[in-house]
Amino acid sequence: MSDTNSISSTLTAEQETAAARGPLRIAIVGCGSITEGAHLPAILASPEVLLVGLGDTSESRLRSLKEEFCPDVPGFRDYKELFDKVDAVVLALPNFLHAPVGTEFLKRGISVLCEKPLSVRREESVQLCAAAKSGGSVLAVGFVTRFFPSTLLTHHLLETGFLGNLQSFDYEFGTAGGWETASGYNLSRETSAGGVLAISGSHFLDRMLFLFGDVDVVRFLDDSRGGLEANCKAEFLATFDGRRLPGTITLSKTHRLSNRLRIVGEKGVITVAEGQSLSVTFFPSGSDLREEIFPASIIPGTPEQDYFRLQLEDFVRAIKECSEPHVSGEQGLKSAALMEECYARAERLDEPWCDATMQYFRRALPPQ
């Protein structure tokens, strides 16, 4: 792992004090839906952190979250007011603000847990990693599915050759509709910086790099017409265990897909359904059997953990121990670079139902 995000030699006096003091002083910048549904409950449930502020430009959003969760926590409409009050922040802003705002915190020695994706541009991610290095702060990226036992188990099974030689992988995720955002940032390229690939697909791009190592983009097709793609298909080529491994990703925000990862190897097929966080499913070659595989540490039927809290506490651990978080800025940079390459190579997805009848409408328009 690169040392871009290493903090061992540059721990500030302020951080040393923070580490010794006990609970870390933390704030959330950006009070949208993910904060309300995940980050705020995780912070309030964890003894490792002390929530000292909520930041958002919307007064009504601040008021609403404070009333619901934490009436005594002060709200800030300008994130700069938090600079001297916190050791760390959870950055849950629209994607286009990750780099400019995150950099401001990191270079001041304030650690950042940045919502995914770190950015959709390599350059911005490099800027964030550099700011973390110069400020001696931790940069973690909120790819929460990496904390699923099923992700770690899949990685382990691949690394130990459970499937034999790998032949292919494919991942699909599609829903009729997307994420309801409080700010509406997901409506335009300027604020979202990407469509279904950036919003839904970035989780898997990160997991793909984690599972198979570096990959090349072979082809990327999407249905963007100058806006945000709602559907896309990507072909990749990885090199795993010295062999070429082709893979595909299909994503949709207009319709449901099979919503699972499938890895085909010579000894069988592994599938991990979306949301299947504790186990993986194995179909041995030449057999009708289907086996659920759990990590030894998990007893089937065990209730789900709060993965956002695990992610948060891993972030705190990295700050206190001056070590790497589970998903570092450097890893976030890799998936950002991959996303950027996909968009740079985008070809138009064929949509005859959209274009075939377009000729007829000219006659229905007013004479110019």
Partner 1 sequence: MTETASSKQIRRVLVTGASGFIGGRLCEVMAITGTYTPRAFIHSTASAARITRFPIEFSIGDLRDSASVDRAVEGCDAIVHLARGEGSVMRAGLENLLRAAVLHKVSRFVHMSTVAVYGNMPPPESITEDSPIRHCDNLYGREKLGQEKRVLKYARNHGLPAVILRPPNVWGPYSHFSLEMIQKISKGTLALVSNGQNPCNLVHVDNLVEAILLSLWKPEAVNEVFFVTDDPVISWKQCLEDQAALVNTHLPGVAEEDLVVPAAERVWRESFKVVPRVFVSGEFRQQLRRIPLLRIVEEKLFAGFQSLSAETQHSLRSRLTGGNTAVLVRPATAPRFVRNGLHFTQMRRVAHSSEKARRLLGYTAPVKYAEGMANLQAWLRFARHLTS
Question: Which positions touch partner 1 (CB under 8 A)?
Answer: 174, 177-181, 184, 186-189, 195-196, 223-230, 252-257, 351-358, 360-366, 368
Task: Kindly state the smallest distance separating residue 202's Cβ from partner 1, in Å.
Answer: 16
Task: Kindly state the smallest distance separating residue 30's Cβ from partner 1, in Å.
Answer: 16
Q: Is 211 helix (H, G, I), strand (E, B) or coil?
A: helix
DSSP 157-176: HHHTTTTSSEEEEEEEEE-S
Task: Kindly state the smallest distance separating residue 256's Cβ from partner 1, in Å.
Answer: 7
Query: 170 or 313, CB closer to partner 1?
Result: 170
DSSP single-letter state for residue 197: I
Query: 299 or 358, CB closer to partner 1?
Result: 358
Cα angle: 118, vertex 1, 95; to 5 degrees? 0
CA-only gyration radius of the chain, Å: 22
Task: Kindly state the smallest distance separating residue 290's Cβ from partner 1, in Å.
Answer: 21
Q: Per the structure block, which two tokens stand in for 30?
A: 């950006």
Burial class (CB in 10 A: 0-12, 13-18, 19+), 272: buried
Please give the helix or strand (H or E) that residue 41 lies within, else none.
helix 40-45
Task: Kindly state the smallest distance separating residue 258's Cβ from partner 1, in Å.
Answer: 8
Contact status, residue 197 vs residue 339, Cβ threshold 8 Å: yes
Query: 84 or 180, CB closer to partner 1?
Result: 180
Q: Is 69 helix (H, G, I), strand (E, B) or coil?
A: helix
Query: CB neighbours of 324 closer than 8 A, spacing ≥ 6?
Result: 1, 5, 6, 318
Q: Per the structure block, which two tokens stand in for 148?
A: 């699923």
Task: Kindly state the smallest distance separating residue 367's Cβ from partner 1, in Å.
Answer: 9
Task: Kindly state the smallest distance separating residue 252's Cβ from partner 1, in Å.
Answer: 8
Task: Kindly state the smallest distance separating residue 199's Cβ from partner 1, in Å.
Answer: 9
Query: 50 or 257, CB closer to partner 1?
Result: 257
Query: 98 or 253, CB closer to partner 1?
Result: 253
Query: 256 or 345, CB closer to partner 1?
Result: 256
Query: 233 or 317, CB closer to partner 1?
Result: 233
Query: 344 or 356, CB closer to partner 1?
Result: 356
Q: Which string of b and e fits 107-122 if b means at least 16 CB within 10 Å? A: bbbbbbbbbbbbbbbb
Beta strands in 243-348 (DSSP E): 243-252, 260-265, 268-273, 280-284, 291-293, 346-348
Query: 11 or 349, CB closer to partner 1?
Result: 349
Q: How many residues does the chain have?
A: 368
Task: Kindly state the smallest distance separating residue 331's Cβ from partner 1, in Å.
Answer: 28
Q: Is 282 helix (H, G, I), strand (E, B) or coil?
A: strand
